[in-house]
Amino acid sequence: MQSNIGGQLCENVSSSYTAFRIGPTPRTPVSGPCFLPELTMSLQGKTLFISGASRGIGLAIAIRAARDGANVAIAAKSDQPNPKLPGTIHTAAREIEAAGGKALPMQVDIRDENAVAAAVKQCAGHFGGVDILINNASAISLTSTLETPMKRFDLMFGVNVRGTFVCSQACIPYLKQSAQAGRNPHILNLSPPLSMKARWFAPHVAYTMAKYGMSMCVLGMAEELRPAGVGVNALWPRTIIATAALNLIPIADPKRGRKPEIMADAAYAILTRDSRTTTGNFFIDDEVLTQAGEKDLDQYAVTPGNKDFLPDFFVD
């Protein structure tokens, strides 16, 4: 399931390509149009700012980028171990560096615009810029209107909508510089395709509005940043993804899900496409990988051989 705004279909971009490690592109701005070398994109030397990257899908994306030799700023609140949700910014940094990347762990509340601005500035100063923003952090409460305390409502809107907007706002000046230097900048929000079907709202209207707020940022910012050459897209899983956070949702059975690596590999495929032509899309993970030539989706199943996956929300 993919959609695109502005009439520029994602099929214009070749879905089958070979990635080579070509080394970092100099950050010195160039005059005139920037042209990226065909079929040579990797994340080597690129700098990613990832919210909520201490565990789960965010960490999986960070590790996949690290395998190319990327720099990763881990912006998350988890500075100390949590018995219910294992993983901190420090354990994530060790995993990223073990995979071949460079890590900058930062304890950040993404609802705080001053803290985010300082963190992005620190990231750019440490690594020399920002090339990619992953808006991964999210809060969830699958509760009806009467069962949703306003404190929980504010948390979901604060993290999902405000946090996504704040991180994007802070990173955009650096992403524009990345575009001028021909470094293929992207914003990728982990948010669903927009569907106005009532069945996605009725059981948990507050959560749906909060997640759709992230998707609306994609819809608007993709067109806003198109002239600058910054790609803005959304990525969402077809099935539930087996993360530690999933264990906190009673109705979800991780054994009927897929591993976080499917989202990491799909994100990698998107982030190594040309940002000037790949923008405004609402991607689904397995479709991205199939278009990129991946034939073995069974490798991502939590339970080997399972075909009875539990679908995620918002996928029609």
Active-site annotation, residues? 207
Tokens of 61: 């994306």
- Burial code of 162-171, b = ≥16 C-beta within 10 A, e = fewer? bbbbbbbebb
End-to-end CA distance of the chain: 9
Q: Give me the residues paired with residue 233 across strands.
A: 188
Tokens of 188: 């990728």
Q: E strands along 94-242, which residues?
A: 102-107, 132-135, 186-189, 231-236
Tokens of 162: 């405000």
Q: How many residues are given for the chain?
A: 316
Torsion of CA 79, 149, 142, 53, to 10 degrees: -20
| Distance set, CA 149 to CA 7, 20, 205 (Å) | 41, 50, 13
Q: Give me the residues paired with residue 251 across strands.
A: none
Residue 118 DSSP one-character state? H
Looking at residue 159, its amino acid is: V
70: three-class secondary structure by DSSP: coil
Interatomic CA distance for residues 29 and 38, integer angstroms: 20
Interatomic CA distance for residues 82 and 84, integer angstroms: 5
